[in-house]
Amino acid sequence: EFQARIQEDSKASSRHGTALIVSSALLIGGSYLIHAQDPVQVGAISLIRTVGILGIGEGAEGVWVSDQNRIFQQAMDRATGLSLEAKSQVLRTYLELQAEQERKRNTIKAVTYSLVAAVNIYEGSRQGDDTVRTGLYFLGAVGLLRALTLSIDF
């Protein structure tokens, strides 16, 4: 049962990582659609690209690095002194606690990205400069996309 859960979680981690890579790549790509001359705008665009690159790195970690479940499974496999019943009980408890923590983590992240999106969209609506407004709307859309991907249970 735990082996099946590990495979399922590994696939979910890979999907989540892939979604983060794609949304970050869109962020970086979209930033090249903004043609800025003002030093502040150029700095903001550079920051956008930096965040995108960090997102790609975080996504890559989700796709290619072993998660805690796999490490825990290896530890349980090596714990030869525990009965199968004891291992099953420990594993069930561990998975319940882990799922609870993951839900909390995703909720916090989704709210955070939603707030960032709201601030950027609001600030964009107040801008007179088309380039700045477009950039802020774009950041808002990316924030909403990220919040949405965190809210969906893949």
Q: Over the stretch 21-32, which tens digit does the pLDDT of each residue have?
A: 999 999 899 888
DSSP 103: H
Type of residue found at 90: V
On whether the CB atoms of residues 25 and 52 are closer than 8 A, the answer is yes
The whole-angstrom separation of Cα 88 and Cα 85 is 5
The whole-angstrom separation of Cα 110 and Cα 114 is 6
pLDDT of 140 > 80? The answer is yes
Query: Once rounded to an integer, what is the mean pLDDT over residues 6-16?
Result: 80
* CB contact burial 42-66 (16+ within 10 A = b; e otherwise): eebbeebbebbeebbeebeebeeee
The whole-angstrom separation of Cα 68 and Cα 48 is 30
Q: What is the pLDDT of residue 36?
A: 78
pLDDT of 100 > 60? The answer is yes
pLDDT in tens, 29-79: 988 888 878 877 887 888 888 888 988 998 998 888 767 777 887 788 888
Please report, rounded to a whole number, the percentage of residues in the chain having pLDDT higher than 90: 14
pLDDT in tens, 72-97: 877 888 888 988 889 888 888 988 88
Q: What is the pLDDT of residue 153?
A: 65
pLDDT of 13 > 90? The answer is no
Secondary structure of residue 146 in the 3-state scheme: helix
pLDDT band at 18 (very low <50, low <70, confident <90, very high): very high
Q: What is the pLDDT of residue 68?
A: 76
For residues 55, 58, 62, 66, the Cα torsion angle rounded to the nearest 10 degrees is 170
Please report, rounded to a whole number, the percentage of residues in the chain having pLDDT higher than 70: 96
Answering whether pTM is above 0.75, one says no
Tokens standing for 28?
A: 């970086």
DSSP for 10-70? HHHHHHHHHHHHHHHHHHHHHHTT----SHHHHHHHHHHHHHHHHHHHHHHHHHHS--HHH
